[in-house]
């Protein structure tokens, strides 16, 4: 493609112009802000009803939120360090491995937006 049309371009489908709001860097603060607000509300929601879980730990206010945040972060860090041990170049298994070949183009319909 010679030039990439701007995200506001009328060429893009209307739904696409809506979704692009989420990737606009200008809006990232709003998105994170809304997310934080939702998290706070969810934490406060724990005070609004009586929890009766199967385990004592579930009784703690905000247990699931804490567990989710900590374990998610731990997962990413662990996975990142796993790369150190098991990451290899794409041609590691030689030429007859799917990671090192293009998908046969004759089986695809590669088209750009606006093509008919």
The number of residues that bind another protein (CB under 8 A) is 80
Least Å from the CB of residue 26 to another protein: 14
Contacts by 91-95, CB closer than 8 A, 24 or more apart? none
Which has the closest alpha carbon to 26: 10, 14, 8, 41?
Answer: 8
Q: Distance of alpha carbon 3 from its chain centroid, rounded?
A: 27
Closest to another protein by CB, 26 or 111: 111
> Pick from 2, 10, 26, 111: which binds another protein (CB under 8 A)?
111
Token pair 């603060």 is found at 29
Closest to another protein by CB, 26 or 89: 89
Residue 24 is a binding residue for another protein (CB under 8 A): no
Mark residues 58-97: x for contact with another protein by CB under 8 A, - for none.
x---xxxxxxxxxxxx-xxxxxx-xx-xxxxxx-xx-xxx
Supply the DSSP symbol for 108. Answer: S
Give dist(CA 20, CA 8) in Å, integer: 9
Least Å from the CB of residue 61 to another protein: 10
Tokens for 13, please give them: 């489908």
Within residues 1-20, the interface with another protein by CB under 8 A covers: 1, 4-5, 7, 12-13, 15-20
């Amino acid at each position: 493609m010679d030039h990439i049309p701007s995200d506001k371009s009328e060429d893009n489908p209307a739904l696409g112009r809506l979704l692009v709001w989420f990737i606009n860097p200008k809006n990232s603060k709003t998105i994170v802000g809304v997310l934080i607000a939702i998290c706070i509300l969810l934490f406060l929601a724990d005070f609004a009803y009586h929890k009766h879980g199967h385990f004592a730990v579930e009784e703690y206010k905000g247990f699931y939120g804490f567990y989710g945040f900590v374990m998610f972060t731990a997962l990413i860090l662990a996975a990142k360090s796993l790369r150190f041990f098991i990451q290899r170049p794409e041609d590691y298994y030689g030429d007859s491995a799917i990671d090192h070949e293009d998908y046969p183009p004759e089986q695809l319909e590669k088209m750009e937006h606006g093509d008919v």
